[in-house]
Amino acid sequence: MKYLCLVYYSEAAMQERGDDHWQSLNKECQAYSGGLTESGVLLEGSALQPVSTATTVRVRDGQVSVTDGPFAETKEQLAGFYMIEANDLNDAIRVASRIPPARYGSIEVRPARDIYDHSSEKVPYGEALES
Amino acid sequence: MAARGDTEQQIQRIFSSESRRVLATLIRLLGDFDLAEDALQDAFIAALRQWPDEGVPDNPRAWLVSAGRFKAIDQLRRRARYNEILHEQAQQLEQQATVSMEEENAAIEDDRLRLVFTCCHPGLAREAQVALTLREVCGLTTEEIARAFLKRPSTVAQRIVRAKAKIRDAKIPYEVPEGDELYERLHAVLQVIYLVFNEGYLASSGELLLRHDLSEEAIRLAELVLRLLPQPEPECAGLLALMLLHHARRATRMDAQGELVLLEDQDRSQWDREEIARADALIRRALQTQRFGPYTLQAAIAAIHAQAPSSEATDWQEIVGLYDLLLQQMPSPVVALNRAVALAMRDGPRAGLAALEPLMEDKALADYHLAHAALADMHRRLGNIADARRDYERALTLASQPAEQRFLRQRLEALS
């Protein structure tokens, strides 16, 4: 049986905990996911860039609509995921707009974040900057 | 030192005519808005230092791009002491730095168009698209944008910072889309331009004279996009024509007291005939392509008004026909309202009322002051004074702009 584990947390609260906490959390994630991969439990997984980088793609009447921001419709539920390789956001939008349920619901496109590279040095500022 | 002073003036002139082009190219080469802006500043400082002695180079644009690129490489190297990735980035840039000046010059114009499409990418929020376009493509300062949109400079600055972060982190590419995507994305570009124009247009009728002339900025932007697109795009020409036609009437929209003047009462001898003729040529070409859309149709309607010798001598037959076409392409209640008003001019107020009254059931029109003002006007022409009064009063409660409220009060007074 395969299971999808979705990770949620408050970006603002994470930012308040500071960079040191962030770095040690990323290290902890590296160790845990490394072990899971070795034992064959982790099939595919990735951290994501903050929600401020999100783009939502929908297709209605054959027209692709692209909007800034995350998917935020509580009437719809998560139904699946595609982890894709794309050159840039335009390329990713092209792929997302052909996912068949894009015609009925929404596809949220979020860039992945490499927990091993420099992007895990500082907590990314997301919505916390809004206030 | 007269010669040196002349060179400095020449550098200032080159800065105002070339800085946006050079910036667009530096953004492509460096892949980073902030790094490109710093590099642009550094390149001009270098020019101010070197050109007075060495003379202005034959191709100042390419010189500035090249100087900016080397300054950016220097800066990356200084920062790279702490960071391995920046070190690699600087090395890559240095290897690419061998492109000839001629190649560079040819690519620079395309870079401006790439920048427009990046700034107006639909993955950015609409306000961010507008702010980023005005900042990066038009070269307005954050303070000027804030003043134009009545926002705090810090709010605008934050919007721009976030938009740049999304461009970088979500990897919004620096490219002009091709094929079907070009039309979808061009739509967003044209919407941004029209929004900028309307903001300037409304502001000019308002109480604030301090606001930057956004209308002219929008016209320049549309001209730029139309000139740079790989093939002439009728809707872009249509939008440019529409804006030119509004702009041609700018001197007559208000009287000396700052009160709004109705189209039928405006002094037509004051309209800018040169702009109207330019718009006319653009519309004719756009209509010939058979690929025209709502902007071209709205421009065609505005052109008939602009070319009529008086309100009575306007070709209302043609205008109603164009509204029928527009309604097919853009079935909105406001277009239907305008069509009903044109119908009242062609066939009389009774026909106008018959078309307009059923439309008022739409929530959008029920709350729209101009719809009630149109109803009132038709009743007034039919001599139904009580109905006219009721509808003008309704319009007055819904209107929010002081100039429009004063205008409606005048109409009410004129009834008795």
Most confident option among A62-71, A76-85, B122-131, B402-411: B122-131
Kindly report, residue by residue over B94-111, the tens digit of the pLDDT. 776 655 566 666 677 789
Task: Report phi then psi at A64, rounded to 5.
Answer: -85, 130
CB proximity A30 to B under 8 Å: no
**Alpha-carbon distance B183 to B239, whole Å?**
14
> In this predicted structure, which of A47-61, A71-85, A101-115, B111-125 has the lowest mean pLDDT?
A71-85
Question: Which of B85, B166, B177 comes nearest A53 by C-beta?
Answer: B166
Query: Which of B89, B166, B176 to substitute to test the interface with A, most A CBs within 10 Å?
Result: B166
Q: Which of B13, B91, B89, B99 is nearest to B62 (CA)?
A: B99
Judged against a pLDDT cut of 50, whether residue B173 lies above it is answered with: yes
Average pLDDT over residues B271-289: 96
Q: How confident is the model at residue B243 (pLDDT cuts 50, 70, 90)?
A: very high
Distances (CA, A) of B143 to B134, B152, B359: 11, 8, 43
Distance from CA of B334 to the nearest CA of A (A): 23
- Measured between beta carbons, which residues in chain A are less than 8 angstroms from residue B170? 49, 53-55, 89, 109, 111
Q: Could you tell me where the DSSP H helices lie in B133-249? A: 142-148, 153-169, 180-205, 214-228, 234-248
Total CB pairs under 8 A between chain A and B: 56
CB proximity B125 to A under 8 Å: yes
Kindly report, residue by residue over A3-22, the tens digit of the pLDDT. 777 888 888 888 899 999 99
Closest chain A residue to B167, measured at CA: A53
Q: Let me know: does A57 contact A109? Beta carbons within 8 Å.
A: yes
B74 vs A126 pLDDT, higher one: B74
**Contact B181/A90, CB-based, under 8 Å?**
yes
Distance from CA of B175 to the nearest CA of A (A): 9
The pLDDT of residue A130 is 42
Q: How confident is the model at residue A128 (pLDDT cuts 50, 70, 90)?
A: very low
Averaged pLDDT of chain A = 84
Average pLDDT over residues B301-309: 95
> In this predicted structure, which of B79-93, B346-360, B366-380 has the lowest mean pLDDT?
B79-93
Kindly report, residue by residue over B362-404, the tens digit of the pLDDT. 998 999 999 999 999 999 999 999 999 999 999 999 988 788 8
ipTM of the shown complex? 0.80
**Alpha-carbon distance B123 to A49, whole Å?**
15
- Measured between beta carbons, which residues in chain B are less than 8 angstroms from residue A88? 171-173
The pLDDT of residue B105 is 63
The residues, ordered by sequence, that sit 6+ positions from B51 with a Cβ below 8 Å of its Cβ are B7, B10, B11, B57
**Contact B170/A129, CB-based, under 8 Å?**
no
The pLDDT of residue B402 is 83
Question: Which of B158, B162, B171 comes nearest A89 by C-beta?
Answer: B171
Q: How confident is the model at residue A129 (pLDDT cuts 50, 70, 90)?
A: very low
Judged against a pLDDT cut of 60, whether residue A108 lies above it is answered with: yes
CB proximity B178 to A under 8 Å: no
Judged against a pLDDT cut of 70, whether residue B207 lies above it is answered with: no
The pLDDT of residue A55 is 94
**Contact B172/A111, CB-based, under 8 Å?**
no
Judged against a pLDDT cut of 80, whether residue A79 lies above it is answered with: no
- Measured between beta carbons, which residues in chain B are less than 8 angstroms from residue A53? 165-166, 169-170
B81 vs B24 pLDDT, higher one: B24
Query: Which of A58, A59, A68 to substitute to test the interface with B, most B CBs within 10 Å?
Result: A68
Task: Give SS3 for B260.
Answer: strand
